[in-house]
Structure 1
Amino acid sequence: MGRGAQSLARVAVVVRAGAAPLWWLGLVAAGIGALLPGLTGRRIGLLSAAALFIVAAAVTAVVRRGRYTHFAGAATRAGRTDFLQDRKVTLRNWRRARRWWLLLAFLAAVGSSFALPGAGGGLLAGVGAGLWAKAVWLGRRERDDEALLWLRTDWVSRGPVGKEVKGFRSTGIAAGDAAPGGARRR
């Protein structure tokens, strides 16, 4: 990695960016699905929604943890000329870039309720909960290591540990406007 001036986004904020929209869209889709009788009936649909929620949350929370751990262990120190992107800007950019995918996922979850009421909404909400749990795990790791993890903004498009990502940068625990884990700093 070069040491030129680069814009950096917090890894935990990027992970957490999808949690809230997926959670709320999933809950709304599951609520709409609970109103529909569906082909299988409400009881079976809502039980399958609960099962899908648990499985999706667990899988999302643990998938690719090894890659996060590897990049966190090999993180290089951010340079003085690096620009640290605000939490609000990172959230806005992530959500704007994926707003159509979020809308399509919501419509697919509502559409699946005609067959299996609430199942698609439970799946979406589970993915959102899993992303939030992963951000909390990253925050715990950042507190233990006393170093916040950052990622170049031009690598964010494929996710925080996508194929384009070559590594993380680190700063002290007080850098930026987001607390460890990507939450708003109080």
Structure 2
Amino acid sequence: MKWTNQAEIIKQLSDRQVVNHLYLTQGIILAITMIASIFLFPSLTKWLDLWKYDVNEILIYGVSAGFLVIIIDVLLMICLPKRFYDDGGINEKVFRSRPVFEILWIAFLVAFAEELLFRGILHTTFGYITASIAFAFIHLRYLTKPVLLISVLLISFYLGWMFEVTNNLLVTITAHFIIDFILGLMIRFKIMG
């Protein structure tokens, strides 16, 4: 299968099929995370140390970062041609006809699963750079879209930096959730589309 054919494959799938694939991949990510954590963390306490309900950290780093990324993304969408943000229709199929509650659930699931794997497992085990590059790599559909690839890579390094500073998964999950939820709502309600 060639990268250029991905958009054609996506067009053949229904919105529900794309969403079901998303649920499946997030389930796989969670399963990998749980299995890896058994082998990579010497105790449950070490895993739980990554979870700190620190409202200041969550607001200062997580919430503000989420909104900063959204603002930058919106500015880029205004300034750049629409084709630069075309991901082959995946995000549109995921969000365009979902009820708000399901968009909220999808955004939470993706933020939770991906941050557990990339910050909780990969970052703590292999370091900041490896985890950030791996995060960008799983977004394979962006490889032929330089703006999207650079954007996801910078966001990944930003989330990784926040984790370096706070060592708190709740911070990165919050930022990731805000980004995905607001962008999902923008697609759903055709804002900037």
TM-score by length of 1: 0.31
Q: Which has the higher strand share?
A: 1
Max radius of gyration: which structure? 1
Q: Which has the higher helix share?
A: 2
- Greater RCO structure (CA 8 Å; 6+ sep): 1
TM-score by length of 2: 0.31
